[in-house]
Amino acid sequence: MNPRRRNLPFLFATLTVGALMLIAPAPLIEAQSGIRGFSASHADAERQLEQWLRKIPDAEHAENNLRHITAEPHMAGTEGSHRLADWLRLQYENDGFDAKIVSYSVWLPLPTEVKLDLVAPQKKPLATQEEPYEWDKSTYDSRASIGFNTYSPSGEVTAAIVYANYGTADDYRQLESLGVSVAGKIVLVRYGNAYRGIKSKLAEEHKAAALLIYSDPADDGYDAGDVYPRGPWRPMSAIQRGSILYTEIYPGDPLTPGVAATPDAQRISPADARSLPRIPVMPINAQDAAAILSHLTGAKVPRAWQGGLPITYHTGPGESAVHLKIVMDYQQRKIYDVIARLPGTDDSEWVVLGNHHDAWVFGAVDPGSGTTVMLETARALGELVRGGWKPRRSIVMCEWDGEEPGLLGSTEWVEDNVKELQSKAVTYINTDVGVAGPNFSASATPSLQDIVREVTREVSDPNTGRSVYEAWKEHSEHAVNEPSGVARERPLRTDNDAPLGTLGAGSDFCPFFDFAGIPSLDVGFNGDYGVYHSLYDDFFWMKRFGDPDFAYHATLAKILGTIVLRLDQADVLQFDYSAYAETVQHEAGALTAAAKRVGLTDADLAPLADAAAQLREAAQRTAPTLRALETSASGTAQHQQVNLALAAVEQSFLSPGGLPGRPWYKHQLWAPGSYAGYTAVMMPSLAEAIEHKDAEQIRRAIAGIAAALTRATAKLNEISRLAQTPSSDHSPS
């Protein structure tokens, strides 16, 4: 017998969509107020179910799982990742899920040689590797990858250096104002303020010969606090690996944009793949950057460009020159997604969860903590099933491969199953960096903001004993910027609530939300985390700094499990389209004001303002009809129709032609900015047209967005009619 089963002092009796009955030795909770989305008769049973689930996740299981997950490097495209996928499939099967591995064939390089030498004003070998520490045996593992950037082309370059701060568009404009050109030079930039693929793209557009990216101690090293192994921050030898694939154009396999990378898929040539970079790019550590920067001459940099190294930074070019050589082995390689399904009484609706399992090296935080939390969530759900509970909707838990190179596994699976997902998936719940510390954060489409707040009010924070919500709200009021590489999306507008961010890119929610229009959210705990994508993101770091007693791993599993139960068991799905419409109207107002400043008239802007107002009116009309439907007999065909329509509102915002120049991105209201990297831009076609002061493009963008809002308004009106139509079918759907 599984020893955890003895910790469930209850037995689930017959459970149906219409009636949930629990047999327990004593009442667990006193009568509480209802739960949004549940009839009064089902709310108490739901609370009982949630309380039992939250008793199951524990720290010991989480610690043991993370120890196994981090036992060897498991980078995408290697047998380490394949072995981990096989192990994960077995874990889900042991928890009662129907689990399988789905494989795709993707264009994926691995490095064979990465070489860097300072050749002027003196000769010195660089590309130094990360220093091992005797008390952390993992750091001696010879299987660890060298520092490299996935999707860098092979190349060999000898050239002078120009320092360009973070390598953003503003930074290049600043260099031009100083009379400094990067054409034909090797550009040195620091991590932070933008996705590394944006840095590569801008360097390429400015005709640089190559790009070096380093981690400055001002961003995530000794300026932030004590460095590893004394503290959690990045030591001087640590290297931030990472992809430079142009995911802002499209994520996933570069050779099969928009279609699944099955063995027989029609592929474009690498030369035609718009997401592939064209200049060599290499990550280096701070100590190698110091060797280069200390010899740079040229103008003294602006004050904001001065980093944390104990030297005065100069732009160059000057005495420093380097020789760079990168040899990459590009091949079709297999990746391995694990898809685990817990069938519900109604398989026409799915609640989908996901996390990736591939890591740059050991990946204790990114993504092992999220993988561990997913396993604890699955174990808790499996225990409920063994106790007699049956999910109402099917629960699909996914472990993606190839996220680090460019969201490969999730993108290919969504492209492979997009029609079924759009007809069945009611929500996608993502976790990636599950636990890096004690500070909760979340991002979500506006309709799902409140369910995250509601659930975190029900779960205790291990450190404070208060609710996670209270700790989250207090921390957000005093928050500082997150360390480089893990910056969260900008918060949505709130009224004294804990703020949720927006969904841009950078993790596996992207294909679900931006391509398929599935309502999505992303959750995790953050903290002082300076070893992102380095050798030192291992079990030792987590045990010493991130979550020593694994209490936050268990806590996040309780949060994920409770969100799943709320969405799985709901009589009426808890989408808040009034909040969504308010967000849309607020942003539409801000953008129309900006468009006026570049010369457009009220007549040009009227379609957007009118469509936003109509969406808000429709949302306000629909809300009371949905509340009334909650009180009626559940499990009817009417409820099923309403729920599927509610989930499909997000798809109304999709346009088949996608965004200008980026047809893969279908969502008209949200996308990562073309030069913003991970960060979401709202109404991106309009925002970028205004930035370019292109009046005709502004008009086209307004027409496209207004059409999307009109489609959503029609869908909400349809939902209102469905919710008000009397139903004689009260059989379970």
In sequence order, what E strands does 227-320 have? 242-243, 281-284
In our burial notation (b when 16+ CB lie closer than 10 A, e otherwise), range 548-582 reads eebbbbbbbbbbbbbbbbbbbbbbbbbbbbbbbbb
Per-residue pLDDT reduced to its tens digit, 183-240: 999 999 999 999 999 999 999 999 999 999 999 999 999 999 999 999 999 999 999 9
User: Is the confidence at residue 676, as pLDDT, over 90?
Assistant: no
Query: Residue 27 has what pLDDT?
Result: 31
Per the CB < 8 A criterion, the answer to whether 137 and 539 are in contact is no
For strand 124-125 and strand 98-120, is the pairing parallel, antiparallel, or unpaired?
antiparallel
The whole-angstrom separation of Cα 656 and Cα 666 is 6
Check whether 491 has a pLDDT greater than 70: no
The per-residue pLDDT for 599 is 83
- DSSP string covering 133-193: BTTBGGGG-TTSPPS-EETPPPEEEEEEEEE-TT--HHHHHHHHHTT---TTSEEEEES-S
| pLDDT tens-digit series, residues 48-63 | 999 999 999 999 999 9
Mean of per-residue pLDDT scores for the chain: 92
Closest by CA position to 236, among listed 190, 288, 287:
287
Active-site annotation holder among 204, 403, 412, 415: 403
Q: ω before 132 within 30° of 0 (cis)? A: no
Retrieve residue 200's tokens.
Answer: 């590569």
Position 33 scores a pLDDT of 59
User: Please, which residues have CB within 8 angstroms of residue 227's CB and are 6 or more apart in sequence?
Assistant: 221, 233, 234, 235, 236, 530
Length, in residues, of the chain: 733
**592-598, long-range: CB < 8 A, 24+ apart:** 594/690, 595/686, 595/690, 595/698, 595/702, 598/690, 598/693, 598/695, 598/698
Question: Under a CB-based contact definition with an 8 Å cutoff, are residues 524 and 546 in contact?
Answer: no
CA-nearest of 333, 12, 362, 285 to 150 is: 333
Tokens matching residue 603 = 């007549």
How many beta carbons lie within 10 A of that of residue 123, not counting itself?
9
SS (H, E, C) 306-335: CCCCCCCCECCCCCCEEEEEEEEEEEEEEE
Query: Tokens at residue 435, please?
Result: 């636990």
Residue that wins the pLDDT comparison between 361 and 605 = 361
d(CA 476, CA 212): 34
Domains of the chain: 3-105+335-455+506-569 (3.40.630.10), 107-332 (3.50.30.30), 577-724 (1.20.930.40)
Confidence bin at 727 (pLDDT 50/70/90)? low
Pairing state between β 520-526 and 439-444: antiparallel
The average pLDDT across 701-708 equals: 97
User: What tokens were used for 166?
Assistant: 């973070």
| Residue entry with tokens 């950078």 | 506
Burial class (CB in 10 A: 0-12, 13-18, 19+), 211: buried
Residue 1: which pLDDT band, with cuts at 50, 70 and 90? Answer: very low
Residue 48 pLDDT: 97
Helix ranges (H only) for 499-550 are: 509-510, 539-541
> H or E element: which one contains 409?
helix 408-424
10 Å CB burial of residue 185 (0-12, 13-18, 19+) is: buried
Provide the 8-state DSSP code for 209.
S
In terms of C-beta density within 10 A (0-12 exposed, 13-18 middle, 19 or more buried), how is residue 650 classed? buried
Give the angle subtended at the CA of 706 by the CAs of 705 and 712, to the nearest 5°: 90
Q: Are 650 and 445 in contact (CB under 8 A)?
A: yes
User: Do β-strands 210-214 and 281-284 pair in parallel, antiparallel, or remain unpaired?
Assistant: parallel
138, 362 contact by CB (below 8 A): yes
Question: Which tops the pLDDT comparison, 577 or 597?
Answer: 577
Residue 349 has pLDDT above 80, yes or no: yes
Cα–Cα distance between 61 and 372 in angstroms, integer?
A: 9
Which residue's entry shows tokens 């002061």? 693
Beta strands in 665-729 (DSSP E): 670-672, 680-682
User: Residue 693 and residue 548: Cα distance in Å, rounded?
Assistant: 52
Catalytic residue check, 403: yes
Question: 138, 182, 141: which is closest to 159 by C-alpha?
Answer: 182
What pTM does this model have? 0.93
Q: What is the mean pLDDT of residues 9-17?
A: 34
Count CB atoms within 10 A of the CB of residue 332.
14
The position carrying tokens 């997913």 is 374
**pLDDT at residue 636 above 90?**
no
What are the DSSP calls for 667-688, one per residue? BSSEEE-TTTTTSEEESHHHHH
C-beta separation of 329 from 112 below 8 A: yes
pLDDT-based confidence at 313, cuts 50/70/90? very high
CA angle 619, 620, 624 (to 5 degrees): 105
User: For the residues 593-608, what does the mean pLDDT come to?
Assistant: 85
User: Does 487 have pLDDT greater than 70?
Assistant: no
> pLDDT for 387-436, tens place per residue?
999 999 999 999 999 999 999 999 999 999 999 999 999 999 999 999 99
DSSP per-residue letters across 348-380: EEEEEEEEE---SSS-IIIIIHHHHHHHHHHHH
Tens-place pLDDT, residues 148-172: 999 999 999 999 999 999 999 999 9
| Higher-confidence position of 179 and 6 | 179
User: If pLDDT is split at 50, 70 and 90, which confidence band does 14 have?
Assistant: very low
The torsion defined by the Cα of 88, 89, 91 and 94, in degrees rounded to 10, comes to 180
Residues 358, 508 contacting (CB under 8 angstroms): no
Residues 6+ apart with CB under 8 A from 479: 439
Q: Collect all residues with Cβ–Cβ distance below 8 Å to 26 and sequence separation of at least 6.
A: none
Residue tagged 């997009």 (tokens): 418
Sorting pLDDT into bands at 50, 70 and 90, what band is 600?
Answer: confident
147 neighbors 113 (Cβ within 8 angstroms): no
Q: How far apart are CA 331 and CA 545, in angstroms?
A: 38
pLDDT surpassing 60 at residue 733 = no
Q: Which of 130, 349, 160 is nearest to 227 (CA)?
A: 130
> pLDDT by residue (tens digit) across 362-373?
999 999 999 999
- How many Cα atoms are found within 13 Å in the side-chain-facing hemisphere of 375? 30
Tell me how far apart the alpha carbons of residues 334 and 405 are, in angstroms, rounded to a whole number.
13
Of the listed ranges 130-139, 454-463, 474-483, the one predicted with least confidence: 474-483
The tokens for 611 are 């469509």
Give the position of tokens 């889900």: 92
Residue 495 pLDDT grade (very low, low, confident, very high; cuts 50, 70, 90): low
